[in-house]
Amino acid sequence: MSVTATCVKRAFKYRFYPTDAQAAELSRTFGCVRKVYNLALAARTQAWTRQERVNYNQTSAMLTAWKKTEELAFLNDVSSVPLQQCLRHLQVAFTNFFGKRAKYPRFKSRKKSRRSAEYTTSGFRFRDGELTLAKMTQPLDIAWHRPLPDGAKPSTVTVSQDAAGRWFVSLLCDDPGIKPLFSTGTAVGIDVGLNHLLTLSTGEKIANPRSERRDRARLALAQRRLAKKAKGEGTNRAKARRKVAKVYARITDRRRDHLHKLTTRLVRENQTLVIEDLTVRNMVKNRKLSRAISDAAWSDFRSMLEYKAQWYGREVIAVDRWFPSSKLCSTCGTLQEKMPLNVRTWTCGCGTTHDRDVNAAKNLLAAGLAVTACGAGVRPQRSTPGGQSAVKQEASRREPRSPRL
């Protein structure tokens, strides 16, 4: 299999422990980045109401003028690189808005928005494994839990602080170690669920770790204590809020670690991976299942699977969400009229007994292979006794899909 010569850009994220002076400098930088972003967004919004457009170059000129005013002179105390980068980010946000790929940009909130600053090569120095940011004299104390690629030269460095108070630095580098893998020739259908996180067309079922449930009692206790604190800028409320954030961070880290290991294994073992194109945004509106669906993180699973497949030369196929994978017999193609969620096994008229999830995964695989072979949307189905094909009958009803428990 041929290997492309271009390297993949990959971000390596590490935790670091700043000194008091570094933490104060970064906090000032975060505040200035937020201020400049909001000022530029306000200026572009006012121009938008006048049916005018303001581009990045114009906002950059505005930034120079703002620094010369007495009211915004504090912008000169931090590095200019993160301020310019936030203007570029705003330009990208407007480009996505005009391209109808995103909503209109929103203002950054001091309490809710992500605290981060991006530095380009002129804003940091990376030598002998030590990273020093602009306006700082000491290098950052980084916990290098994994090495960077040999000879790596970061192109951008992003510093951030999460709600739990942890500091992170992300270095964007070329990773020559990411290359397309040799073709395995295998394909697998993947059906997501709640009782089992994944069910493969091979019959394997992967348990749902239920990361949120394991810390639910601890989270509820921390939230009750936070609710009793008086609202405002008090120290006790800030401490209670941080304890809640630490529990959430623990849950998120555990979930992300499991999904990374799982998606890496699936991509390495299979050449073609077929999934279902679910609208998770609409499915979480179900109040009875929203917590379980959010904890399963199906959207994160899909995004990880897609970018890793692109890295390693694999193919991910998404089958239409209306495809009746659960109600369709993978042996003879007969479509069942009804399939309630409490039915986990069922027997078709042809005599085949199906496990609901395994059968759905097999049908997804067949539909995905049909897309690869001839561009078809679904697998050709045999007609039901009524004369109408199973797929047409299902498409005519268009009943909203419910998540498989």
Catalytic residue numbers read 191, 276, 357
> Scanning the structure block, which residue is given the tokens 């994978």?
325
Q: How far apart are CA 364 and CA 50, in angstroms?
A: 51
In 297-352, which residue ranges form alpha helices assigned H by DSSP? 298-311
Q: How far apart are CA 54 and CA 150, in angstroms?
A: 42
Which string of b and e fits 362-382 if b means at least 16 CB within 10 Å? bbbbbbbbbbeeeeeebbebe
191 pairs with which residues across the strands? Answer: 199
Q: How far apart are CA 33 and CA 158, in angstroms?
A: 13
Q: How far apart are CA 267 and CA 97, in angstroms?
A: 33
Q: How far apart are CA 256 and CA 274, in angstroms?
A: 21
**Amino acid (one-letter) located at 55:** N
Contact 271, 312 (CB under 8 A): no
Q: How far apart are CA 33 and CA 40, in angstroms?
A: 11
In the chain, the N- to C-terminal Cα span, in Å, equals: 40
> Scanning the structure block, which residue is given the tokens 């039915």?
343
Please give the full DSSP string across 345-357, using - where no structure is assigned: EEE-TTS-EEEHH
Choose among 197, 189, 208: nearest CA to 323: 189
CB neighbours (10 Å) of residue 152? Answer: 17
Q: How far apart are CA 212 and CA 298, in angstroms?
A: 14
Torsion region of 237: left, alpha or beta (phi above 0 gives left; psi -120 to 50 gives alpha): alpha
CB neighbours (10 Å) of residue 183? Answer: 11
